[in-house]
Amino acid sequence: MKQKLFRSLADLRFAIGILLIIAFFSIIGTIIEQDQSIETYKANYPLTNRVLGFLSWDIILKFGLDHVYKTWWFLGVVLLFGISLLTCTFLQQFPSLKIARRCQFFRTTEQFRRLKIFTKLYNFPLTKLLFKIKQNQYSIFQQKNIVYCYKGLIGRIAPIIVHFSMILVLLGAVFGSLTGFKAQEIVPKTETFHIQNILNNGKLTIIPKISARINDFWITYTKQSTITQFYSDISILNVDGNEITRKTIFVNSPSTYDGIKYYQTDWNLIGLRIQNNKLLTFEYPLISILNERNKIWLTWIPNTQELKSGFTILIDNLQGYCSLYSENGQFLGNLELNETFNLNTSLTFIDIISSTGLQIKIDPGIPFIYTGFLFLMLSTLISYITYSQIWIIKDNQRIFVGGNTSRATFDFELEFLKLIK
């Protein structure tokens, strides 16, 4: 029963079936948004209007379709597929490689009839034939009048490397799912932060107790005032608050420390610093509103002590200026940094308070996945090496010659014809 069980696990049809199940669940995880809030699923998959007639938020949460790749049943299917690959490797691929390394002599001329390519030569010197075969990089084994030749044995290793690479990819995916995490932090410029806003994490994840500081944040613009890139100067700090490492990150260029990656993802304006005629500095919060093109931030600043009247400031960039409007919506002009505006009182535009959006991520399974794909590419190259065999029996003045190949049959036929020409 054990042998039958292992043979079933090693069966190609079983492995393909498991692979299709993994692909099906992966498609579900792609279609349904993963690791979102309950309110998101209630809004997109309501009970009153079920998607496809049956899919609603309660079913998604009940069966874990909101985190497919971390459910026990998905990890179980992946584990079963890995066991199938290992069983196939040890029960089929290794024995097949062992057999390929043996000297498989033909003892009778009747065995040549099983080959698609064979012929009989008359009065042909055997030594000359063997010399030609040797020139074609074949390994030759001889017992009296019988000869066995092969080349390209390394091509038989390709299926084993494929299984090994797939197991590495699966191991990396499972390990990353169980121990990785992803967090999102919105941090004002010059502020220090810890990893707190966790979006998703695995069951075995340990959140590192590490802090970082945003030293500066800035944006570069084109001549048409469109954003080209935004940057964050970030410092990683130790437990004493001392700087360990420092790097300026931008989109697609993260900072990495101790396996933790800090990605630049978003930005925001949160306030303005204004100085009055008494040299007192005040901070006014900005409120974000959206128009059809981009974000606009605004705030209201009083110009009397009674706070009964004032003017509105609008800002839509980090280029160092803002626009002023009266209570009636009349445009009063643009105000640049360190410029003073006089309207009942003197006000100086000191600074724009910005914040940067960071995605903090760790995935310990990435090295396994990349290594697995490296071996997969290597196995693809190795699989192009053809494993070819040639058998020879000398019977008096007759020489029986036949051959077989794993692939590239036409090329092997041309090679065979050149050998016996």
Tens digit of pLDDT for each residue in 137-159? 999 999 888 999 999 888 888 88
Q: Is residue 164 part of a domain?
A: no
Please tell me the predicted confidence (pLDDT) of residue 152. Answer: 87
**H helices present in 32-93, as ranges:** 38-44, 57-62, 72-88
Task: Judge if 188 and 255 occupy the same domain.
Answer: yes
Task: Judge if 216 and 294 occupy the same domain.
Answer: no
Virtual torsion, Cα 24, 26, 27, 31, nearest 10 deg: 140
Q: Determine the length of the chain.
A: 421
The dihedral region occupied by 335, where left means phi > 0, alpha psi between -120 and 50, and beta the remainder, is: beta
Q: Is residue 235 part of a domain?
A: yes
Please tell me the predicted confidence (pLDDT) of residue 262. Answer: 93
Note whether 217 and 354 are within 8 A (CB): yes
Please tell me the predicted confidence (pLDDT) of residue 393. Answer: 92
Task: Judge if 361 and 257 occupy the same domain.
Answer: yes
Q: Is residue 344 part of a domain?
A: yes
Please tell me the predicted confidence (pLDDT) of residue 291. Answer: 64
Low-confidence stretches of the chain (pLDDT < 50) are: none
Q: Coil, helix or strand for 205?
A: coil
What are 137's two structure tokens?
A: 């990089």
Task: Judge if 228 and 286 occupy the same domain.
Answer: no
Task: Judge if 342 and 403 occupy the same domain.
Answer: no
Please tell me the predicted confidence (pLDDT) of residue 144. Answer: 86
Q: Which domain holds residue 281?
A: 272-348
Q: Is the dihedral of CA 5, 10, 13, 14 positive or negative?
A: positive
Please tell me the predicted confidence (pLDDT) of residue 293. Answer: 65
Task: Judge if 260 and 190 occupy the same domain.
Answer: yes
Residue 106 DSSP class: -
Note whether 356 and 249 are within 8 A (CB): no
- Residue 226 makes CB contacts below 8 A (sequence gap 6+) with none
Q: Is residue 374 part of a domain?
A: no
Task: Judge if 248 and 284 occupy the same domain.
Answer: no
Task: Judge if 361 and 248 occupy the same domain.
Answer: yes
Of the candidates 62, 359, 420, the residue with the CA atom closest to the CA atom of residue 195: 359
Helix axes 2-9, 72-88, angle to 10 degrees: 100
Alpha-carbon span 286 to 270, nearest angstrom: 5
Q: Is residue 170 part of a domain?
A: no
- Residue 280 makes CB contacts below 8 A (sequence gap 6+) with none
Task: Judge if 34 and 139 occupy the same domain.
Answer: no
Alpha-carbon span 1 to 362, nearest angstrom: 44
Q: Is residue 405 part of a domain?
A: yes
- Name the strands in the sheet holding 227-237, side by side, starting at the edge strand that comes first in the sequence: 192-194, 211-221, 227-237, 243-250
Alpha-carbon span 21 to 290, nearest angstrom: 43
User: What is the number of structural domains in the chain?
Assistant: 4
Please tell me the predicted confidence (pLDDT) of residue 294. Answer: 73
Please tell me the predicted confidence (pLDDT) of residue 250. Answer: 92
Task: Judge if 263 and 361 occupy the same domain.
Answer: yes
* Domain C-terminal end among 96, 129, 160: 96
Please tell me the predicted confidence (pLDDT) of residue 292. Answer: 58
Please tell me the predicted confidence (pLDDT) of residue 320. Answer: 82
What are 322's strand-pairing partners? Answer: 335
Q: Coil, helix or strand for 326?
A: coil
Q: Is residue 139 part of a domain?
A: yes
Q: Is the dihedral of CA 231, 272, 316, 186 positive or negative?
A: positive
Task: Judge if 249 and 317 occupy the same domain.
Answer: no
CATH number for the domain harbouring residue 135: 3.30.310
Q: Is residue 114 part of a domain?
A: yes
Task: Judge if 236 and 340 occupy the same domain.
Answer: no
- Residue 140 makes CB contacts below 8 A (sequence gap 6+) with 130, 133, 134, 147, 148, 149
